[in-house]
Structure 1
Amino acid sequence: MRFIIQRDRLVQSVQDVMKAVTSRTTIPILTGIKIVASEEGVTLTGSDSDISIESFIPKEEAENEIVEIKQTGAIVLQAKFFSEIVKKLPTDSVEIHVENHLQTVIRSGKSEFNLNGLDAEEYPHLPQIEEENVFKIPTDLLKAMVRQTVFAVSTSETRPILTGVNWKVENGTLTCIATDSHRLALRKAQIETNASESYNVVIPGKSLSELSKILDDNNDLIDIVITENQVLFKAEHLLFFSRLLEGNYPDTSRLIPSDSKTDVVVNTKEFLQAIDRASLLAKEGRNNVVKLSTIDDGVIEISSNTPEIGKVVEEVQSKSVEGEELKISFSAKFMMDALKALEGSEITISFTGAMRPFIIKPLNDESILQLILPVRTY
């Protein structure tokens, strides 16, 4: 195998596939990056058997030559060393040449590295996915939906299914739900699909976070293919496979209250900043709890009291308060995470009592909601 390639394109692809490579794998060859040179261009693959990422660098793009293939072939190189080497090479072009017995020479300018490669035949094959059932979604919408839900997944392995985001496709609508049983994030969007198709799968939160980092901010459509145990995201020159979590996701629709006793409309930014200040004196150990009380004339009091540190009280003028008086305590962190995920300058918070979950959503927008369980304070 032998080819010459533009360094910046190689660096970008290596960084993308590195997101799937881990040093903690039980399969030694997976600590490497697989490089395949074909007549069409160069393909890099990284995998930790949960996530696999394949990045393709075409021979030419927009009539610019990116890769010059001198001899086709394949090799697996240690990801840790290879990624560091390509980042620090001196010139804009890199030659990679596999000599006898998997010895690989990497040349750039006056710099030359020799790396011991591994046999590419031993690298596990990527899942072969039948692409019958595909739906499409613009990249920027996909990234937004991930950002607005993935923070609420559970980080505890006691219920593995909750470490993923539940994706449901029904009647041309994609619904993403994440919960760690103390809070829940939900986001819906219309997508391009055959109306008859429906899916209900759970994608690991970690996979979605990594996918989101790799994707560019644009509105190009991404193809999404779901099979029994894998999901594939296809963007231009990029394939991202992730395994799905096994098991049934809990029915979260029962958690979401349909009625409310107190509705508050506030300015998102003012409210977020007030919660942020109140949390400064809230104790980390006790979930940094803050308290919200409605007082007269649409004023909301936000307070936090930690006897050994001190207390903070702040008043926020709401746009409106309807319904019963209310005192409720909740985690400042959960509230701030939820507020940062919402779009829109004003939000509605709907309470159904001091010990019941409450809902936060943007004014006049039914496509997204955040739910938080209050904290008991005695």
Structure 2
Amino acid sequence: MKFSCEKVFLQNAIAVTSRAVAQKSSIPALEGLLIHADQQLTISGYNMQTGIRTNVFANVVEGGNIVLNARLFGDIIRRMPDDMITFTADEKMMVHVSCGDADFDILGLSAADYPDLPEVEDEYAVSMQQKVLRSMIEEVAFAVSTNESRPVHTGALFEIADMSLSMVAVDGFRLAFRREKLEKLEGGAFSFVCPGSALSEVKSICGDTEDLVTVTLGKRHILFEIGDTQLICRRLEGEFLDYKNAIPRKNPIQIVAETKALIESIDRVSVVISDKLKSPVRCLFDHDKVMLSAKTGNGEAKDVCRVSGDGDKLEIGFNNRYLMEALRYAPADKVKIELNTGVSPAIIVPVEGEENFLYMVLPVRLKSAE
């Protein structure tokens, strides 16, 4: 096996595929990267849950397969000079890597020990711009549950219908919803739940570009094709929350707020809140203003944020981080906040136009004596 490749291409490919390498495994090959040279060079990482495979621009002189420890190979390539790297491997699995005056000899593993990445049957597919998918994941993923007792909620629901993609995440305390129009749809309406861990990798691979990413749904796996890179992950099975019926929309109180100003007010009163001294942020919605306060053993903080609308003197408490994250990820300078009672969820939506996002935050019960 022999090939030569520019350092920058090889280093980028190793960085991307190493994200799917198992940190510790009973199968030593899974702690490595599969290097496959044929007409082109392909590098793969796989941890039995998520697999990432990418093609690298290289001059392949002699084909072959070998597995190399991901950390060691990555460290070697990163320390090489910025030049053409030459890679050779013999039948005894001895690998020679050279670039300029630097030379390394390391021992590889047989590719026969490396499990095959799953094949994804082409049942349904959808395409969209990388930057759109990346922003959607970012604006929803924070609400993905980390509680393994409901495994299906440790992922985000994708719903593809009516030439649009909806993405939903829920963790029992809040819900995040985003919708975007689609450019291309094959095979009609479909839905699936993608693991949160795989979504964060998809987000990191997607660039801030209008180039397309194609999402293909198989019977048990999902395939994301992003340029020269493929990410394959298992679908999460189970009954996802019926979110449409879980969101209360007949809310009599509607407030319009400047997103940044409200975040800053919550941030100010959160100064007295810590991991040791937890306390809800108390919000009193009045006419054209909301009075925020928090009180812990550290002290007491108060602030006022100007808003539009009458809050009818509704007093409601929120976990400061949950409310702040919902506002921070809302893709709008102004938001409409819908409220009902002190124990009903707050709904955050766009002020006008199509509802391409919705965030729901459950309140925290306030002690009336506070």
Q: Which position in structure 2 is the counterpart of 1:294?
A: 285
Residue 18 of structure 1 corresponds to which residue in structure 2?
18
Q: What is the root-mean-square deviation of aligned Cα atoms in Å?
A: 1.5
- Aligned ranges 1:212-361 → 2 under 5 Å: 212-285=203-276, 288-295=279-286, 297-306=287-296, 308-318=297-307, 320-322=308-310, 324-361=312-349
Q: What whole-Å deviation, never above 9, does each CA across 1:312-353 have from its counterpart, x for those lacking one?
A: 1111111x1236320000011011111111112111110111
Distance 2:28 2:149 in 1: 28
- Indicate the SS of the match to 2:313: coil
Question: Aligned partners of 2:36, 2:186: CA distance in 1, in Å?
Answer: 38
In the alignment, is the contact (CA less than 8 A) between 2:120 and 2:219 conserved in 1?
Answer: no
TM-fit CA distance, 1:196 = 5.9
TM-score between the two structures when normalised by the length of structure 1:
0.93
> Does structure 1 conserve the Cα–Cα contact (< 8 Å) formed by 2:124 and 2:190?
no
Asked whether the 8 Å contact 1:287–1:332 carries over to 2, the reply is no
DSSP-derived class of the 2:92 partner: helix
CA distance in 1, matches of 2:89, 2:187: 50
Structure 1 residue 194 displacement after superposition: 4.2
Q: Which residue of 2 aligns with 1:62?
A: none
Structure 1: gaps spanning 5 or more residues: 59-66
**Take 1:208 and 1:195, find their aligned partners in 2: how far apart are those partners?**
22
Gaps in structure 2 of 5+ consecutive residues: none
Q: 1:130, 1:202 → 2: CA distance? A: 17
Deviation of residue 283 (structure 1)? 3.7
Of 339-348 and 191-200, the range deviating more from structure 2: 191-200
Structure 2 equivalent of residue 63 of structure 1: none
| Aligned residue identity for 2:13 | S
Give the whole-Å Cα distance in 1 for the aligned partners of 2:76 and 2:249: 57
Determine helix, strand or coil for the equivalent of 1:354: coil
Letter in 1 for 2:191: N
Question: What is the CA deviation profile of residues 252-296 of structure 1, one whole-angstrom value per residue up to 9, with x for unaligned ones?
Answer: 22220121121111111111011111111124346542011023x
SS in 2 for 1:15: helix
Alpha-carbon contact 2:124-2:186 (below 8 Å) kept: no
State the Cα distance separating 1:131 from its structure 2 match: 2.4
1:370 to 335, 359, 363: 359
Provide the identity percentage: 28
SS for the counterpart of 2:231 is: strand
Q: Cα deviation per residue 1:178-215 (whole Å; 9 max; x = unaligned)?
A: 01011000011121344762222111111101111122
- Taking a change above 3 Å as real, the CA distance of residues 288 and 99 of structure 1, as seen in their structure-2 partners, is farther
TM (normalized to structure 2)? 0.95
Structure 2 matches for 1:1-378, cutoff 5 A?
1-39=1-39, 41-58=40-57, 67-194=58-185, 197-285=188-276, 288-295=279-286, 297-306=287-296, 308-318=297-307, 320-322=308-310, 324-364=312-352, 365-378=354-367
Aligned residues: 366
- For 1:344 and 1:312, locate their aligned partners in 2 and report how far apart those are by CA, in whole Å: 27
Maintained 8 Å contact 2:29/2:109: yes
For the residues of structure 2 that align with 1:148 and 1:198, how far apart are their CA atoms? 23
Structure-1 separation of matches of 2:186 and 2:225: 21
